[in-house]
């Protein structure tokens, strides 16, 4: 399916990398690629190629970056970049994390000046020296102000929120997110509530699901069928309504929400999930990141399984469910894949897949796309918060005459990674009739008969009108 477009990466020298997060830039998506010892990279599409524009503050050479995420923590309309650094497998680490705040953004210039909020005097004793993996953005009240959850391993996890004075506070215990487990992957979004819940994929133990109860959380994974203690969880993503959880040398899972019994629509019983993974997906391999997208714009989603030291896999959702298809050049049978993210980097209406490598040795980045995908119709929806930042965790529903589909704007993490903050829908031969956006605070907005082959920005209903 995929064709190799790695020649569009301007400087593709071998690199030891892990996670990648995509945030809006001045003239298009920016991909922050974590460097494990080498410098972090900040890739933007410029002059027909992905080019590294990282300043020294972003590059942060010499530390060991692994999980990354972007979100607006200070409600100023621009996303901060959170980088989790660790040189240790578990427990304590010598590296502290990096929280980059853009403080000088000029619309006529690509360069941005950044400051590290962990470096402020008020945060002198607030650094995170706990080894972990993934990070995810979580707006627990739906106010447009995000916190960052750090999935730690062998030590209690962290949930940082930012005060108006720049002070970072770990709120885990106060809000019910206290967790001490082999936490690996995260998914933040509406799962069993209408707000942002938090799923934690765990190695050597049961998964956790924290249900959002008006900004505080209750752990309910066992109650709703998501604990799956026999899976060493890695990547996690929502795949056309199913929660896909990749396993490391254990069966992968595809959790599907059970339909309520007839006549029980108003029953208070919690939503429950059961494993509906086909054999080809469940079969054990070394899954790292999972990515869901309609890469060929034909109206059907694909599920990409990035593996480490094993061939990557690709599945497509059809009427018969998820079936395996040939990933083409993206198979990478000898790739040491560590992370992957999706975005429309070149702005042609079709998605590119960026794959990061470097678990055991430095390898080049890889870029893949589907030839001819931009010729098919598509629709892109970019919800924004009350402050104009990407509305991570917002649910976007598109209706056509034949189908209704919902995508949640990515808050992290496919495993260490985060996708672009846009809900992208391939249309095939369908015409979009309606778009509905539901924000994490429950408010909704509808766009009737949206134009195809267009990216629609939909502002929060409480955003200022000028």
- The rounded distance, in Å, linking the Cα atoms of 382 and 406 is 13
Q: What is the pLDDT of residues 71-121, one digit of tens each?
A: 999 999 999 999 999 999 999 999 999 999 998 765 444 568 899 999 999
pLDDT for 72 = 98
Tokens of 255: 């959790």
**Domain residue spans of the chain:** 2-375
Cis peptide before 413 (omega within 30 of 0): yes
Tell me the pLDDT of the chain averaged across its residues.
94
Report the sign of the C-alpha dihedral through residues 237, 239, 240, 241, in that order.
negative
pLDDT for 270 = 66
Does residue 336 carry a pLDDT above 70?
A: yes
pLDDT band at residue 259 using 50, 70 and 90 as cut-offs? confident
Tokens of 76: 């100023």
4-13, 111-120, 123-132, 152-161: the lowest-pLDDT one: 111-120
pLDDT for 109 = 41
pLDDT for 264 = 47
Report the sign of the C-alpha dihedral through residues 131, 134, 137, 140, in that order.
negative
Tokens of 53: 């524009």
pLDDT for 108 = 40
Tokens of 315: 């599945």
Interval 436-450 mean pLDDT: 98
Q: Which CATH number fits domain 2-375: 2.40.110.10, 2.130.10.10, 3.30.70.20, 3.60.20.10?
A: 2.130.10.10
pLDDT band at residue 260 using 50, 70 and 90 as cut-offs? low
User: Which DSSP string do the residues of 105-148 spell out, in sequence order?
Assistant: E-TT-S-EEEEEGGGSGGGTT----B-EEEEEEE-SSSSS--EE
pTM for the model: 0.95
- The rounded distance, in Å, linking the Cα atoms of 222 and 244 is 17
Q: What is the pLDDT of residues 21-55, one digit of tens each?
A: 999 988 899 999 999 999 999 999 999 999 999 99
**Which of helix, strand or coil describes residue 428?**
strand
């Amino acid at each position: 399916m995929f064709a190799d477009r790695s020649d569009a990466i301007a400087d593709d020298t071998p690199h030891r990398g892990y996670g990648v997060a995509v945030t809006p830039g001045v003239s298009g998506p920016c991909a922050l690629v974590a460097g494990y010892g080498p410098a972090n990279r900040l890739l933007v599409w410029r002059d027909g190629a992905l080019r590294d524009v990282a300043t020294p503050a972003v590059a942060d050479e010499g530390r060991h970056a692994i999980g990354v995420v972007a979100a607006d923590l200070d409600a100023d309309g621009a996303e901060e970049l959170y980088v989790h650094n660790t040189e240790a497998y578990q427990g304590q680490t010598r590296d502290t994390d990096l929280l980059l705040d853009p403080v000088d953004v000029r619309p006529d210039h690509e360069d941005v000046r950044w400051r590290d909020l962990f470096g402020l005097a008020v945060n002198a004793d607030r650094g995170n020296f706990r080894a972990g993996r993934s990070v995810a953005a979580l707006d627990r009240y739906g106010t447009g102000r995000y916190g960052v959850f750090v999935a730690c391993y062998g030590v209690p996890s962290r949930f940082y929120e930012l005060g108006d004075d720049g002070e970072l506070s770990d709120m885990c215990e106060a809000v019910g997110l206290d967790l001490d487990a082999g936490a690996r992957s995260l998914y933040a979004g509406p799962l069993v509530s209408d707000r942002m819940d938090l799923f934690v994929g765990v190695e050597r133990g049961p998964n956790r699901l924290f249900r959002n109860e008006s900004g505080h959380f209750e752990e309910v994974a066992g109650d709703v069928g998501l604990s799956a203690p026999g899976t060493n969880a890695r990547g996690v993503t929502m795949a056309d309504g199913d929660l896909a959880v990749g396993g490391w040398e254990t069966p992968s899972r595809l959790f599907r929400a059970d339909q309520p019994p007839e006549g029980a629509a108003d029953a208070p019983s919690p939503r429950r999930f059961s494993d509906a993974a086909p054999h080809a997906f469940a079969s054990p391999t070394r899954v790292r990141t999972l990515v869901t997208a309609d890469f060929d714009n034909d109206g059907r989603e694909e599920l990409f399984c990035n593996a480490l030291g094993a061939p990557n896999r690709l599945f497509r959702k059809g009427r018969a469910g998820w079936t395996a298809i040939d990933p083409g050049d993206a198979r990478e049978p000898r790739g040491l894949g560590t992370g992957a993210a999706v975005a429309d980097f070149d702005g042609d209406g079709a998605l590119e897949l960026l794959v990061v490598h470097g678990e055991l040795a430095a390898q080049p980045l890889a870029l893949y796309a589907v030839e001819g995908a931009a010729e098919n119709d598509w629709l892109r929806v970019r919800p924004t918060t009350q402050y104009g930042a990407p509305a991570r965790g917002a649910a976007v529903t598109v209706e056509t005459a034949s189908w209704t589909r919902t995508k949640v704007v990515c808050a992290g993490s496919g495993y260490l990674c985060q996708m672009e903050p846009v809900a992208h829908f391939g249309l095939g031969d369908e015409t979009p009739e309606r778009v509905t956006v539901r924000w994490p605070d429950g408010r909704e907005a509808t766009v009737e008969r949206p134009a195809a082959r267009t990216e629609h920005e939909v502002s929060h209903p409480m955003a200022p009108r000028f």
